[in-house]
Chains A and B, each alone.
Chain A
Amino acid sequence: MRPPPQVPPAPPLDNSLARSRRGVELGLVLLAGFITAGAYVLASLGQRSSMPARIVPFMLFVLSLLGAAHVAVRFVARGADPLILPTAALLHGMGFVMIARLSDRWAGLQATWSFVGVAAFIATLVVLERPGDLRRYQFTSLALGVMLLLLPMVPGVGFTSGGARIWVSVGPINFQPGEFAKILLAVFFAAYLAERRELIVQGHTKILGVTLPELRHLAPILVAWAVSVVVMVGEKDLGSSLMFFTLFVVMLWVATERTSFLVMGIGLFVGGAVIAYNMFSHVQTRVEIWLNPWDQYTERGYQPIQALFALANGGMTGTGLGIGDPGAIPAAHNDFIFAALGEELGLLGGVAILSAFVLLVGAGMRTALRAQRDFEKLLATGLTTIVAIQTFIIIGGVLRVVPLTGVTLPFMSYGGSSLVANYVVLALLIRISDTTARSLHEVPDDASIAERFSLWRLRRAAAA
Chain B
Amino acid sequence: MNQRIRHLTVALIVLFGVLFVQLTNWQVVQRDSLVSNPRNNRITLREFDTPRGDIITADGSIIAQTLPVDAANGSSKYKYQRSYPKGELFANVTGYYTLGYGSTQLERTQSAVLKGTTPQQQLEATGGLFSKDDLSGSVHVTLRADLQAAAKKALGNREGSVVVLDPNTGAVVAMYSNPSYDPNLIASHNGNVVNETLNALQSDTAKPLLANAYQERYMPGSTFKIVTTTVGLETGKIDMMSVFKNERAWVPPNTKKPIRNYGKKVCGGDLAEVFRRSCNIPFAQTAVAIGPDLMVNGANRFGFDERIPFDLPGAAASTFGGTAADFADSLALLAIHGFGQGQVQVTPLHMAMIAGSVANGGVMMKPHVIGSTRTRNGTVMSTTAPEAWKTPMSPATAATMTQLMIGVAQSGTAACCLQLNGGISVAAKTGTAQLNAEGEKQRSHAWITAFAPAEAPRFVVSVFIKGVNDAVSASTGGRLAGPVARDVLNAALALPAAP
Contact = CB atoms under 8 A, between A and B. Distances in A.
B132 A323 contact: yes
Which of A297, A368, A400: most chain B Cβ within 10 A?
Answer: A368
B19 A312 contact: no
A358 B13 CA distance: 7
B5 interface: yes
B8 A49 contact: no
A371 to B, nearest CB: 9
Nearest to A255: B1
B23 interface: yes
A399 B131 contact: no
Contacts of B18: 396, 401
Interface residues on B, range: 35 or more
Contacts, number: 136
Contacts of A369: 2, 5-6
A309 interface: yes
Interface string A240-268: 00000000001001110100000000000
Nearest to B49: A325
Contacts of B39: 297, 305
A354 B16 contact: yes
A78 B34 CA distance: 49
B203 interface: no
Interface residues of A, number: 58
Which of B9, B20, B28, B34: most chain A Cβ within 10 A?
Answer: B9
Contacts of A312: 26-27, 30-31, 34-35, 40
B27 A350 contact: yes
B16 A392 contact: yes
Which of A104, A313, A316: most chain B Cβ within 10 A?
Answer: A313
A315 B8 contact: no
B385 to A, nearest CB: 35
A346 interface: yes
A351 B16 CA distance: 10
A392 B49 CA distance: 33
A325 B45 contact: yes
Interface in B15-63: 15-16, 18-20, 22-24, 26-28, 30-31, 34-35, 37, 39-40, 42, 45-46, 49
Looking at chain B's contact residues, the main secondary structure is: helix
Interface string B69-95: 001100001000000000000000000
A328 B77 CA distance: 8
Interface in B66-123: 71-72, 77
Contacts of B133: 49
Contacts of B256: none
Contact of B27 (A253, A322, A346, A391): A346
Nearest to A380: B5
Contacts of B42: 309-310, 313, 325, 328
Contacts of B40: 309, 312
Contacts of B77: 327
A401 B31 contact: no
A347 B28 contact: yes
B127 interface: yes
Contacts of A361: 9, 12-13, 16
B247 interface: no
B22 A401 contact: yes
B130 A42 contact: yes
A314 B13 contact: no
Interface string A311-352: 111111000101101011000000000000010001100110
B22 A257 contact: no
Nearest to B130: A45
Given A46-B130, A308-B34, A357-B16, A365 B22 contact: no
B24 A347 contact: yes
A399 B39 CA distance: 18
A378 B127 CA distance: 53
Contacts of A377: 1-2, 5
A388 interface: yes
B269 to A, nearest CB: 73
Given A297-B39, A365-B6, A400-B22, 5 more contacts: A46-B131, A314-B27, A365-B5, A365-B12, A401-B22
Ranked nearest first, the 10 interchain pairs of A and B with the lowest CB-CB distance are A312-B34, A347-B27, A365-B9, A254-B4, A49-B131, A399-B22, A311-B26, A45-B131, A388-B12, A45-B130
Interface of B: 1-6, 8-9, 12-13, 15-16, 18-20, 22-24, 26-28, 30-31, 34-35, 37, 39-40, 42, 45-46, 49, 71-72, 77, 127, 130-134
28 contacts: A46-B131, A46-B132, A49-B127, A49-B132, A104-B71, A250-B8, A253-B4, A254-B8, A305-B39, A309-B37, A309-B40, A309-B42, A311-B26, A312-B30, A312-B31, A325-B46, A328-B42, A350-B23, A350-B27, A354-B23, A358-B16, A361-B9, A365-B8, A365-B12, A381-B1, A399-B19, A401-B18, A401-B22
